[in-house]
Structure 1
Amino acid sequence: MSLPGQRWGVTDVELSARMPCDAALSGSVVICDRAVPVDAPPPLVFAWLCQLRAAPYSYDLLDNFGRRSPRLRDPELTDLAVGQRVMSVFELTDFTPGEQITLRAKSVAVTYAVRPETGAGSRLHARVRFRGPAWLLALPVFGDFLMMRKQLLTLKECAEREAVAFG
């Protein structure tokens, strides 16, 4: 069963790529992939991914208690350690500096990966695994799609703005 928002912006190669979250959550799962091109170098995009430790970068009114996610990057947030809280509800379970972070909550696992794109750009790819049957997850998956789409586009905007300002 295909759900709305299960796939957005990803290439077939990205869809078939193995990601660390693929090993999480046994049993019935729904997998969603979303990706966006970013006109900024991979190290900068990864540094913006690390900002998820401070805020969700989505619809702040809904998922950040009305506080605006910071638009200036805090370099200290790139100091990652397994077990750190991310977006207040996730735990950092795995990371590869400059490449990916993997997060886990009770019934959700997600990997955000940054890959170089032809030229000086990047691809920001997120894969989410939800535990449970597809029919039960239709509404949460669609809601996550809206939130994550906004999140990826906000991180893209922040990284691109910094790349232009300091590039």
Structure 2
Amino acid sequence: MRDVLADVPRFLGAPLARRRHLRWGATDDEVAADLPGDDRVAHADYVSTRAIAIAAPPECVWPWLVQVGRGRAGFYSDDLLDNGALPSAQHIEQGWQQLEIGQWVPMAERITPRTAFRVAAALPPYELLWSKPDSTWSWRLAPTEGGGTRLVTRIRARYDRRNLGSWLSSLVLLELGDYAMQRRMLLHLRDRAERQQTADASLEGL
């Protein structure tokens, strides 16, 4: 609940800061770069490219992404809103590390093509693509000097204006909710990966 309340100004202010938040943390080159899945959603109504620097290598960040999903590790974001109030995982769970093309990445308790992504492509530990009929969510983990990762993520979505309910739902989820929740997801994912990297380094030093 605390995270949700802290994000209320971001939810309400998202439409006013749309141009800025659609590229939160990303450089001009990252915004312009091609990412997996860019060709899957033509004439997208919503395109965001966001990024964050993580002081851990891609192979340390990757397991946290693989286990994302409702009923799995959660989304490391506002758990009250996107994970049924269940806390997102604080550890890497080996039971969620299997990755297969076509497997579901649930966004809701009931899994349908509208409420869940599918794994569409993967190049461990550097690229991951989730897709639905109307949207894609791609990830790129680029190694940086010093053993870090530049994590870039992009959402491309097309609104279904023929279906009022679907259109309104997309507007609420993306135009109001996406910025605050994805920002928090990236920050929490960074914190988890860096904490894991520190713990692993400590064990190696024993």
Q: Do both proteins adopt the same fold according to a TM-score greater than 0.5, normalized to the shorter chain?
A: yes
* Aligned counterpart in structure 2 of residue 159 of structure 1, from 168, 190, 193: 193
Residue 58 (structure 1) shift: 1.1
Residue 125 (structure 1) shift: 0.8
**Is the 8 Å Cα contact of residues 44 and 156 (structure 2) preserved in structure 1?**
no
Which one-letter code corresponds to 2:65 in the other structure?
A: L
Provide the aligned C-alpha RMSD in A: 2.0
Partner residue of 1:131? Answer: 158
* Aligned counterpart in structure 2 of residue 47 of structure 1, from 58, 63, 70: 63
3-state DSSP of counterpart to 2:145: coil
Partner residue of 1:61? Answer: 80
* Aligned counterpart in structure 1 of residue 182 of structure 2, from 148, 153, 156: 148
Question: Which blocks of at least 5 consecutive residues in structure 2 are unaligned?
Answer: 1-16, 108-115, 161-167, 202-206
Residue 62 (structure 1) shift: 0.7
Question: Which moves more between the two structures, 117-126 or 49-58?
Answer: 49-58
Partner residue of 1:97? Answer: 124
TM-score, normalised to structure 1's length? 0.89
Partner residue of 2:149? Answer: 122
More strand by share: 1
Residue 138 (structure 1) shift: 6.0
**Is the 8 Å Cα contact of residues 128 and 138 (structure 2) preserved in structure 1?**
yes
Aligned length in residues = 164
Question: Which blocks of at least 5 consecutive residues in structure 1 are unaligned?
Answer: none
Q: Share of identical aligned residues, percent?
A: 32
Tell which has more relative contact order, 1 or 2 (C-alpha 8 A, sep 6+): 1
1:27 lines up with 2:43 in the alignment? yes
Which one-letter code corresponds to 1:129 in the other structure?
A: R
After superposition, give the CA deviation of every residue in 1:47-83 in whole Å (9 maximum; x if it has no partner): 2111214222211011100100110101343321111
3-state DSSP of counterpart to 2:91: coil
The 3 A distance-change label for structure 1 pair 157 and 28 is: closer
Which one-letter code corresponds to 2:127 in the other structure?
A: Q
